[in-house]
Chains A and B, each alone.
Chain A
């Protein structure tokens, strides 16, 4: 066996050890993950005239799905609105879900109230997002007061 072959086998063996070590390292992801309310900070709902803005601050490395964002009126029941209208976001082609839109950093969802309609006092907001490292958080539902 030549010196080069021996050396190559030695290096390959070292690489395999490092590879196996990294494959069985499950804890790093958890150490880097934020609790869901820190990853997706729902700042609140603010009314200006006939518009209500719902704002999120999304931590770096995390994103919310546009299609998962649902808003209903909590009280008074059946108060009408249209929306939510979302910004353009980032188009992503997912192998499983096809073309989806995700939102990073800041997200504002806008609701529009009809003129002379009863304004919502509280909203029920449902949203769901993931982290770039390859984990997703369960859908979150929050009751938000409209300020």
Chain B
């Protein structure tokens, strides 16, 4: 074996070992979402296996009281974001959602908010934040809709990506940021 080949083999072996070590370290390290003192004794919160299932129907008014369903946006990748004005993590992710709507609209993205809140509070906040996507509203009975979408705890924020064929592709409990949205769009949208 030539000197160069031995060197290349050594580099490949080191790189492979490093990648394998990194993978297993990442797998073994505590996940950041785990909370000290709270045992994950029950797999609660989301219905497993929701991805690949048809999205349930949503029939809710928008902030002007007009009845809307998800069929109002045919052919779109729908990012349904359950939120509320009383939910700080929901507020924190709004700028990233607005940016994603701008950036990925031509690729077929349509974000639809679903607010568990008072319509007037939602209307005021949407104006204040400069929403570029619509939001539907519902009261605490919206919990049933979230349960149909797999969120059995009713915790917010909660985001569901639905393909143009009406099939759920991804669900996320907790806030999303720009990096995660970019990754989601790159993975699923035709960009």
Residues of A within 8 A of B (CB): 3, 6-7, 10-11, 13-15, 17-18, 20-36, 59-62, 68, 94-97, 128, 130-139
Query: What chain B residues lie within 8 Å of A25 (beta carbons)?
Result: 31
Query: Taking the complex as formed, is B68 at the interface, i.e. its CB lies under 8 A from any CB of chain A?
Result: no
Contact assessment for B86 and A128 in the assembled complex, using a CB-CB cutoff below 8 Å: yes
Which of A14, A34, A133, A138 contacts B22 (CB under 8 A)?
Answer: A14
Given known contacts A14-B18, A135-B157, is B33 in contact with A29 (CB within 8 Å)? yes
Contact assessment for A30 and B90 in the assembled complex, using a CB-CB cutoff below 8 Å: no
Query: What chain A residues lie within 8 Å of B36 (beta carbons)?
Result: 60-61
Query: What chain B residues lie within 8 Å of A17 (beta carbons)?
Result: 19, 22-23
A3–B10 Cα distance when bound, in Å, is: 9
Which of B11, B154, B170, B187 contacts A138 (CB under 8 A)?
Answer: B154
- What band does the interface of chain B fall in when counting residues whose beta carbon is under 8 Å from A? 35 or more
Contact assessment for B153 and A137 in the assembled complex, using a CB-CB cutoff below 8 Å: yes
Given known contacts A26-B171, A30-B153, A32-B35, is B26 in contact with A21 (CB within 8 Å)? yes
A137–B90 Cα distance when bound, in Å, is: 11
B2 to nearest A CB, angstroms?
15
Contact assessment for A31 and B155 in the assembled complex, using a CB-CB cutoff below 8 Å: no
Q: Which 10 pairs between the two chains have the least Cβ-Cβ distance?
A: A30-B45, A10-B15, A61-B35, A60-B37, A14-B19, A96-B91, A30-B46, A135-B155, A136-B87, A18-B26
Interface of A is mostly: mixed
Which of B22, B143, B157, B184 contacts A24 (CB under 8 A)?
Answer: B184
Which of A6, A21, A136 contacts B155 (CB under 8 A)?
Answer: A136
Contact assessment for A10 and B155 in the assembled complex, using a CB-CB cutoff below 8 Å: no
Contact assessment for A31 and B86 in the assembled complex, using a CB-CB cutoff below 8 Å: no
Contact assessment for B156 and A136 in the assembled complex, using a CB-CB cutoff below 8 Å: yes
A95–B116 Cα distance when bound, in Å, is: 21
Contact assessment for A6 and B89 in the assembled complex, using a CB-CB cutoff below 8 Å: no
A23–B10 Cα distance when bound, in Å, is: 31
A and B contact pairs by CB, cutoff 8 A, 18 listed = A3-B7, A3-B10, A10-B14, A10-B15, A11-B22, A18-B22, A21-B26, A29-B174, A31-B40, A33-B153, A33-B173, A95-B91, A96-B88, A130-B88, A133-B35, A135-B155, A135-B156, A138-B156
